[in-house]
Chain A
Amino acid sequence: MSTVVFAAHGMTPAERLRDAGWIAFVAFILGVPLIGLTTVDVGGRLAVNTRFGLLAAAVAVAFGGRLALRWAFDRLAARKASRQRAGSAISRTQTIANVLGWIALGAAVALPIAFSDNRYVVDTATTVLIYVMLGWGLNVVVGLAGLLDLGYVAFYAVGAYAYALLSTQYGWSFWEALPVAGAIAAGFGILLGYPILRLRGDYLAIVTLGFGEIIRVILVNWTEFSGGPNGIGSIPRPSFFGLAFTRSAPEGGHSFASFFGLEFSAMHRLIFLYYLILVLALLTHAFVSRLRKLPVGRAWEALREDEIACKAMGMNTTHIKLSAFAIGAMLGGFAGVFFAARQGFVSPESFVFTESAIILAIVVLGGMGSQMGVVLAATLLVLIPEFGRNFAEYRMLLFGLAMVLIMVWRPGGLLAHREPTLRLAKAAGGEQ
């Protein structure tokens, strides 16, 4: 019928239409009793009403959906085939990690819809995502550049306090403060980076540990600036494009609920915060994945592998280290801003060494440098103590035991596989 043939594996358009037609027919048969006919209460007795408009819509959706699905599957198969032709077989681990990633993303997007009335689940998931973001940030420093940082929580604190002060003192909004706080954290990253350029390994770890403590001790003692141990309270919450999550709309304006004609619910803000950190985390992921493929990212990895060789290649290791610290710190700062906005309150209590240790544990347990590993490890490390609540005082014991077991079972981390940043060089393919 049609002369257009797409590809060996594909179907002609006529075949596709026929295929979709069959599905639509099945949908119609099923739809007549399910959708087309409905019972209504007419004056105390049941009557049958028809809803053929809705049925037609459902059948049309089935038809269109089937067409789109087939098309998507064919595209996917074609891409897979072309990859195999290119001879660059994607490793099995990578395929698994990819599939896992998409499932995780789907679950993350669907979670607040499925649990829209469960405050506990959404709250815990938000915490997981904060740790994922922190893990990704620290991954730049530890996983990629190989610089052991035990004071990462300092940048988290810098971001949180930057937002707390900018918003309470100067009335900055969340979105105004976010980039500035990130930049301030990056500045602190460079500040830390300079004195430790010549250090590595254990010595580096000790200095970073000291740096984390210095920041915390300053926050505790400089009362006029940071509020000391009392912290800073009533930090404004982020708004949805200027719409606040309040019960009553401000004068002459709208709140989120009134604007969308919804009934006020405290869950709106929680779900909004959840999606906010999800978006921030995804941006972080995209940013870091992109950097890994750029010269700066490859330079980080080369630095982790061998510093002397790096210098001999003419790379400026000073710049490489500082950029790793600055970018890691900036991402930690972003997470800090979110943390402050979510809690509405910050105090030095939240930025103790244990936090640094947990973030580092997430990176190491996940597999140094592995983005998916961080997600797995963050989920585990946040959820284990949560599930462990039944065990009361033993729960931290459980937490430690789990960490030991993971390291025994997978010494390189949960996902230790490192994916190359490039596969086949086009120019090299045809050589000899």
Chain B
Amino acid sequence: MMLTMEGVHAHYGHIHALRGIDVSVQVGEIVTLIGANGAGKSTLMMSLFGNPRASAGRIVFDGEDITRLTTHEIARRGIALVPEGRRIFPRMTVLENLQMGAAQADPANYEADIARVYAMFPILQERQNQRAGTLSGGEQQMLAIGRALMSRPKLLLLDEPSLGLAPIYIRKIFQIVRELNRDHGMTILLVEQNANQALRVAHRGYVLQHGEITLAGSGAELLASPEVRAAYLEGGAHG
């Protein structure tokens, strides 16, 4: 098991944002977490990263209890985050952004990793000396993913990667997610509002509501489930 969360609770001040979460991710899986706005998806992702720290429960990553570690220590264990809203470094160049991603990695791998990211996203190489803030939203999302890959993570967390992107880029992003998993064996935890697309690429999925897991199953099962259809898919995009 790559990651297990057992009975995790988290608070933002007085708000009880997570109420006993049980989630697991196996090596080589794409697991998605869907839910409405404010259901606690991003909180779950961030509490995995110790920000806010889980107030109860246990988080085990790669056989090690990481519940009490600080954010940067968790990141150094081999979890990389592609944060919501991308959060690239806008005044720095594309290349500098990628370099920041490798800040804690072994410098010996740096050149190979840059080459790998450029091969995956040729547009980033074209724009490598451009300020990252001048990229389009989709390109910024690719940069955020590329930056996360620079640390050679064991587990990649993607927080709402399709948020605010043009449809063509949304397709592209999900295609990248699938390729990363299939061709590079990357284990991925994907948080999405775009339930339809997310469940299509994922092996398994969890539905989060009011800080609790209300449904779990394989991607296809959830896609077919009447509750999921009613809550997240009806009236939405049918692909």
Which of A302, A314, A431 touches B75 (beta carbons < 8 Å)? A314
The residue on A at minimum CB distance from B50 is A311
Contact with A along B56-92 (1 / 0, CB 8 A): 0000000000000001110110001101000111111
Shortest distance in angstroms between B161's beta carbon and chain A's nearest beta carbon? 14
B95 to chain A, nearest CB (A): 6
- Select the stretch in B97-105, B169-177, B194-202, B208-216 that faces chain A: B97-105
Contact with A along B110-129 (1 / 0, CB 8 A): 11101100110010010011
How far is B80's CA from A244's CA once the two chains are assembled, in angstroms?
A: 60
Assembled-state Cα–Cα distance A427/B108 (Å): 12
A88 CA to B95 CA, complexed, in Å: 13
Find out whether the CB atom of B99 lies under 8 angstroms from the CB atom of A431.
Answer: no
Given contacts A298-B99, A309-B83, A431-B119, whether A316 and B72 have CB atoms under 8 Å apart is yes
Contact B99 A422 (CB under 8 A): yes
Q: Are A420 and B89 in contact (CB under 8 A)?
A: no
A302 and B100 within 8 A (CB): yes
Q: Which chain A residues border B73 with CB–CB below 8 Å?
A: 314
Kindly state whether residue A39 has any CB partner on chain B within 8 Å.
no
A298 touches B100 (CB 8 A): yes
Q: Report which of B71, B125, B147 forms a contact with A431, defined as CB distance below 8 A.
A: B125
Q: How many A residues have CB within 8 A of the partner chain?
A: 31
- Within 405-432 of A, Cβ neighbours of B (below 8 Å) are at 418, 420-428, 431-432
Contacts of B122 in A (CB 8 A): 432
Residue-wise interface mask of A (301-343) relative to B, using a CB-CB cutoff of 8 A (1 in contact, 0 not): 1101110111111111100000000000000000000000000
CB-based nearest A residue for B148: A312
Known: A309-B83, A427-B111. A315 touches B89 (CB 8 A): no
Would B49 and A423 count as touching, CB distance under 8 A?
no
Most chain B CB within a 10 A radius of its CB, from A302, A308, A312, A418: A312
CB of A423 within 8 A of CB of B129, answer: yes
B51 at the A/B interface (Cβ < 8 Å)? Answer: yes
Expressed in whole angstroms, the Cα–Cα distance for A425 and B76 within the complex equals 24
User: Which residue, of B51, B93, B111, B129, has the highest number of chain A Cβ atoms within 10 A?
Assistant: B129
User: Which chain A residues lie closer than 8 Å to B72 at the CB level?
Assistant: 311, 314-317
Which residues of the partner chain B approach A315 to less than 8 Å between Cβ atoms? 72, 100, 103-104
Residue on B with the closest CB to A305?
A: B89
Contacts of B89 in A (CB 8 A): 301-302, 305-306, 309
Q: How many A-B residue pairs have CB under 8 A?
A: 107
Q: How far is the CA of A308 from the CA of B82 in the complex (A)?
A: 11
Let me know if A62 is at the binding interface, CB within 8 A.
no
Q: Produce 1/0 per residue, B137-162, CB < 8 A to A.
A: 00000000001100100000000000
Per the bound structure, the CA–CA distance linking A432 and B90 in Å amounts to 26
- Answer whether A420 and B92 are a contact pair too, CB < 8 Å, given A88-B129, A314-B104, A314-B151: yes
- Interface flags for A63-96 (1: CB within 8 Å of B; 0: not) read 0000000000000000000000000100000000
- Asked if A299 is at the interface (CB within 8 A of a chain B CB), the reply is yes
Give every chain B residue within 8 A of A250 (Cβ-Cβ).
Answer: none
Q: How close is A219's CB to chain B, nearest CB, in angstroms?
A: 37
Question: Are B119's CB and A312's CB within 8 A?
Answer: no
Q: How far is the CA of A310 from the CA of B72 in the complex (A)?
A: 8
Interchain Cβ contacts under 8 Å between A and B, 6 examples: A88-B129, A311-B72, A314-B75, A418-B91, A425-B95, A431-B118
A residues within 8 Å of B by Cβ? 88, 295, 298-299, 301-302, 304-306, 308-317, 418, 420-428, 431-432
Known: A305-B91, A420-B92, A431-B125. 9 other contacts (CB 8 A): A299-B100, A299-B103, A311-B49, A314-B75, A314-B103, A420-B95, A425-B111, A425-B128, A432-B119
Interface residues of B (CB under 8 A from A): 49, 51, 71-73, 75-76, 80-81, 83, 87-93, 95-96, 99-101, 103-104, 110-112, 114-115, 118-119, 122, 125, 128-129, 131, 147-148, 151
Give the top 7 A-B pairs by smallest Cβ distance, nearest first. A427-B111, A314-B75, A305-B89, A314-B104, A312-B81, A311-B71, A309-B87
